[in-house]
Amino acid sequence: MLIRVRTNVGVWRIDNLDDIAAKTKDVIEGIKKTRPNVVIEKPLSFDARCENPVDEDQCLHSQS
């Protein structure tokens, strides 16, 4: 699975995630692996104002 995520510091592409078991925290870990010095200031969210945060422990496919 390929995921694209927009954060406070840019757009990230996280590839090779498990289609069934991937969780939001796996996406965050993917960003940290490619850019270890990046600080994400707000939680991942479904909206640009960060009013509807994504549950980090829930599978991605169940959060659509």
Stated pTM of the model: 0.76
User: 1-41 pLDDT, tens per residue?
Assistant: 898 988 777 888 999 999 889 998 999 898 888 888 888 78
Write a three-state SS string for the chain.
CCEEEEECCEEEEECCCCCCCCEHHHHHHHHHHHCCCCCCCCCCECCCCCCCECCCCCEHHHCC
